[in-house]
Amino acid sequence: MTIRNTLRDHGQRYRPRMACLKKAEKVLLEMQDPKSGVKSQPQRLVITTIPHAITGEDIVFRPVLLWSEARGLGSMLVALGFVYPLQDHKRLLLKPDASLYRFQVINYMSWSKHTSTNPNTCTCAAAIYLAKRNIRKKGILEMHEQEQYNRLHKWMNHKWDFIVMQAKEQYRAAKERKKPDRVVFDCQERAYWVVHRPPPGTVSAMDYGLDRRIDPNTDEMIFTQQSIMRPRVKSSVSIGALVKYSATYNSHDPFLSKCLPSNPWHTDDVTYWTLNMPNVETPTKMRVERWTFSFGELLSDPRGRDDFRRFLKKEFSGENLAFWEGCEDLKWGTAATMREKAEQIYKTFLARGAPRWINIDGKTMEITVNGLKHPHRYVLDAAQTHIYMLMKKDSYGRYMKSQVFKDTLKKAICPEETECQEPAAQPQSHRPPAAGAGGASQDGRQRTCRHHAGHEQTQQAQMMALRKMEIHTVLLN
């Protein structure tokens, strides 16, 4: 039988939390420095004078910190119990006004005194505190305190007499103190238990979740190893996407289909390269068909981008494509002209009253303008992505239905397949040709052409068979 240790190992498993508390304690000691710390003075509270009290303004408006940083630091110290409020003890927030606060003593720091490795010690101290409050309030406690008091009484019934005796002794000793000291001691103890035994429905800064029985890094390593071997997407979905992609680009793959009019690598005809030049006046039908696959295909083709630019000019939104092209030029251009290009893009598209101002949201504009103070290659990525998605969702769909695209598709040419050209004529030999040599030469040229055509068909058949074998292997796996 294995007996598990139920003690909280604050020294090993919770070292980050302990380090945070120790750093906060050092900050608190610096704030209590008589020369450079927060100035404290006696403050009047109802009918009692509280010594060494400070206000929220004293903590927030420190010259060594910004206002937001000082307020965040002060709120963290209050939430962790290093600074406690004297008036509204239930709200562990720092108010930047004349609200009174006080530094917690070392005995009631968040990681000392009752926060020992023994949970029974902390529970016993909480029971003594509730019993003492029950004596002081004459049995009238708050609802959550009464429920906790009854639960502890039932659980620790075997030593409840000892707890009540300790509570009475502490209550009697507190009555013998002076009233300011008694009020300060009560506030210190109450502030500690508000942090470590918060009321229901409140968020505790000391809550770190359940104790872990195993090392979380071990599970993470196992999960990582399994994730490497297991795909994130289902096989049916990924295979379907591969089949769809292959079916879409089948006619545009030179390994799977013929090049029209002919493959310039197999023949001496360069018509294919001439018809598919980047800025050709009349594109081919297959090239125009490729623009319909995705918006990225349209922008990646210089001829398609020119056609899309003509459409945007008719809709008076050509500045979107111009801005996207400027961002691409900045991203892939030389480093020497990077700052100059960034300033030119800002003056043309982003500045107030710019000649080609683009419409982007305020948050993206703020991020972009702040980044242009120190420009780099990717400083306009947020604005470029916004404009890209705007053109993809809005302009691209209307371009596919526009008359500009229809006219381009109507004018597009579809080259016919050409026969294999004859090879260059060989220099004639000085010897006289033998009988029947002319017919043999003609037959040789025909056999060479048929050999080239048969070799090309064999290569295509082999590639198709290889693709089918790969898809079949993936389906079996």
Give CA–CA dist 23/32, Å, rounded.
Answer: 14
Name the burial class of residue 384, with classes exposed (0-12), middle (13-18) and buried (19+) by CB atoms within 10 angstroms of its CB: buried
Tell me: the pLDDT tens digits for 191-242? Answer: 888 888 888 877 777 766 665 565 656 667 777 777 777 777 888 888 999 9
How high is the pLDDT of residue 440?
44
Angle 87-92-95 from CA coordinates, rounded to 5°:
65
> Distances in Å between the alpha carbon of 51 and those of 61, 75, 91, 186?
21, 22, 22, 14
> Distances in Å between the alpha carbon of 36 and those of 61, 106, 384, 477?
13, 20, 49, 71
How high is the pLDDT of residue 15?
46
CATH C-level class of 259-411: mainly alpha
Name the burial class of residue 444, with classes exposed (0-12), middle (13-18) and buried (19+) by CB atoms within 10 angstroms of its CB: exposed
Tell me: the pLDDT tens digits for 284-308? Answer: 999 999 999 999 999 999 999 999 9
CA-based nearest residue to 110, from 81, 85, 73, 90: 81
Q: Is the pLDDT of residue 143 over 70?
A: yes
Tokens (6 digits) for 293? 């696959």
Tokens (6 digits) for 205? 């800064």
- For the stretch 263-272, contacts whose Cβ atoms lie closer than 8 Å and that sit 24 or more positions apart, written own/partner, are 263/456, 266/420, 266/452, 266/456, 267/418, 267/420, 267/421, 267/452, 268/421, 268/423, 269/418, 269/421, 271/415, 271/418, 272/415
How high is the pLDDT of residue 322?
96
Q: Is the pLDDT of residue 115 over 60?
A: no
pLDDT band per the 50, 70, 90 thresholds, residue 439: very low
pLDDT, mean of residues 79-99: 83
Highest mean pLDDT among 1-5, 158-162, 207-211, 379-383: 379-383
Q: Is the pLDDT of residue 253 over 50?
A: yes
How high is the pLDDT of residue 188?
86
pLDDT, mean of residues 109-119: 50
How high is the pLDDT of residue 472?
52
CB 77 within 8 A of CB 83: yes
In the chain, where the domains are located = 14-111, 113-200, 259-411
Task: Please give the mean pLDDT across all residues of the chain.
Answer: 80
Counting residues of the chain whose pLDDT is more than 90, the rounded percentage is 29
CA dihedral angle for residue 213, residue 216, residue 222, residue 228, rounded to 10 degrees: 160
Q: Is the pLDDT of residue 12 over 50?
A: no
How high is the pLDDT of residue 200?
80
CB 194 within 8 A of CB 92: yes
Backbone phi and psi for residue 45, each to the nearest 5 degrees, phi listed first: -125, 105
Q: Is the pLDDT of residue 117 over 50?
A: no
Question: Is 113-200 a domain of CATH 1.20.210.10?
Answer: no
End-to-end CA distance of the chain: 45
pTM of the model: 0.45
Instruction: Specify the fold of 14-111.
Output: Arc Repressor Mutant, subunit A (1.10.10)
Counting residues of the chain whose pLDDT is more than 70, the rounded percentage is 77
